[in-house]
Amino acid sequence: MAPIIHCVRHAQGYHNISEENHKILDPNLTPFGQEQCLSLAKSFPYHNTVDLVVASALSRTIDTALAGFGDDIKRGGYKVIALPDLQEASELPCDTGSSPDVLAKKYADKPVDLGLVKEDWTSKKGRYSPDVEAVKARARDARKWLMARPEKEIVVVTHGGFLHYLTEDFVGSNTPNHTGWTNTEYRTYVFSNNDTDNAHMIETPKSRSRRFPEEQASLDREELAQLPPVHTSGVDVSATVKVQA
């Protein structure tokens, strides 16, 4: 059976404070962002069942993964897998990662697997272009990679803008911050059995009920996985994605 996916937006980074900070390359977490990670570590309810943590290869997502799920990683004896396909969906400096050499030095003594991070991952061309179709394709490939993993429950730490493409749910993406996800917010998904080519993910009833208490979510995991894909209409996207999430 395909794994359960817990999607998490990273904690506050310095680029989230001001537009001027969008010029910072691969910004770190702020002190408040570090506090958010500690709160996430305390409040996340599925620590005992998570058996893998995957993160975008930018510093703020890796650091959120390490601080928010450090005990899970230590208990499971695995490393955070840095997955370049999970990087943010724009070409702003703040959404551009560091080179593999810089990351290797930064996380030399941390449980981080950088094996998938290649030299071209910062290029913002081709596969990593901010072009909408390129981002959609990258999100689909990330979902297919996750769906094929042998683990049962995976945490995925990524970015506010890219999360809309990963989940194919664009509610909130037309806000001034270009995302409907708050820092360190998590939502839980299962894969649809009816859309294996695109590896479509559906949010679980329990996850939706945290956000929308008024909804009466009654389907169990198996029933939910049988539902056909439902794509949110009305999203306003341009040919090039511009986010700083």
Taking the alpha carbons at both ends of the chain, their separation in whole angstroms is: 32
The percentage of the chain sitting over the pLDDT mark of 90, rounded to a whole number, equals: 79
The percentage of the chain sitting over the pLDDT mark of 70, rounded to a whole number, equals: 87
List, for residues 99-146, the tens digit of each pLDDT value: 999 999 999 999 999 999 999 999 999 999 999 999 999 999 999 999
Q: Quick check: 235 pLDDT over 90?
A: no
CA distance 221 to 65: 26
Task: State the pLDDT at residue 68.
Answer: 99
List, for residues 49-97, the tens digit of each pLDDT value: 999 999 999 999 999 999 999 999 999 999 999 999 999 999 999 999 9
Mean pLDDT of the chain: 89
Q: Are the beta carbons of 114 and 57 closer than 8 angstroms?
A: yes
Helix pair angle (160-167, 132-147), 10° resolution: 70
Q: Is pLDDT larger for residue 239 or for residue 241? A: 241
Mean pLDDT computed over 14-19? 94
Q: Quick check: 238 pLDDT over 70?
A: no
CATH of segment(s) 4-225: 3.40.50.1240
Task: State the pLDDT at residue 232.
Answer: 32
Domain spans, the chain: 4-225
CA distance 80 to 63: 10
Q: Is the whole model's pTM more than 0.85, yes or no?
A: yes
Task: State the pLDDT at residue 160.
Answer: 96
List, for residues 186-214, the tens digit of each pLDDT value: 999 999 988 778 999 999 999 999 888 77
Task: State the pLDDT at residue 219.
Answer: 47
Q: Quick check: 23 pLDDT over 50?
A: yes
User: How many CB atoms are located within 10 Å of the residue 126 CB?
Assistant: 9
Q: Quick check: 220 pLDDT over 80?
A: no
CA distance 51 to 151: 6
List, for residues 150-194, the tens digit of each pLDDT value: 999 999 999 999 999 999 999 888 877 789 999 999 999 999 988
